[in-house]
Amino acid sequence: MYINKLNMKSFTIIILLFFALSCKKKEPVVDYDGLEACGVSDPIHNLKWLHAEFELLEGGPEMNGIVLYTYEGREVIEVQNSVSSSINIHQYYCDGTKLDLENPDNFKKFKSERVEIGMLYGTKIWKTATRPK
């Protein structure tokens, strides 16, 4: 009887592992297939300010994202850090200057007029986020 319980536990564990490993989920972007931003290839490593922001990310690509947009004719990089409590102070121009989006009207305009170019890293975690009132 002891052997049967042990075999049943082993069988159950194997089945659970099989299903867990066979589940497909959307993989985060770790290598962005050569997407250029701000006139450089591999902007995460070739833009000093962006690399510094990247180094601050905790939790890996499933919990963070770096998204490239265009806004008002310029490229904007948004660093979506999973530990940030605010979503309107992490948008940067190519030179590392932050956009002034603390005013709710400015942030609303940015959200409605920006055009996503692609993911530079990770998962887009602020898909439908809005600034708290």
The per-residue pLDDT for 85 is 74
Q: Is residue 15 situated within a structural domain?
A: no
* Residue 21 located in a structural domain: no
Closest CA to 64 of 129, 119, 128, 132: 119
Q: Check the CA dihedral 86-88-94-97 and report its sign.
A: negative
Could you read off the pLDDT of 6-42 as tens digits, one per residue?
A: 566 666 666 555 555 444 444 445 545 578 999 999 9
Q: What gap in Å lies between CA 119 and CA 109, rounded to an integer?
A: 21
How many domains, the chain?
Answer: 1
| Model pLDDT for residues 70-106, shown as the tens digit of each residue | 999 999 999 998 888 788 899 999 999 999 999 999 9
Structural domain of 87: 43-122
CA–CA distance from 107 to each of 76, 78, 110, 120 (Å)?
13, 13, 5, 22
Q: Is residue 28 part of a domain?
A: no
- Is 24 a member of any domain? no
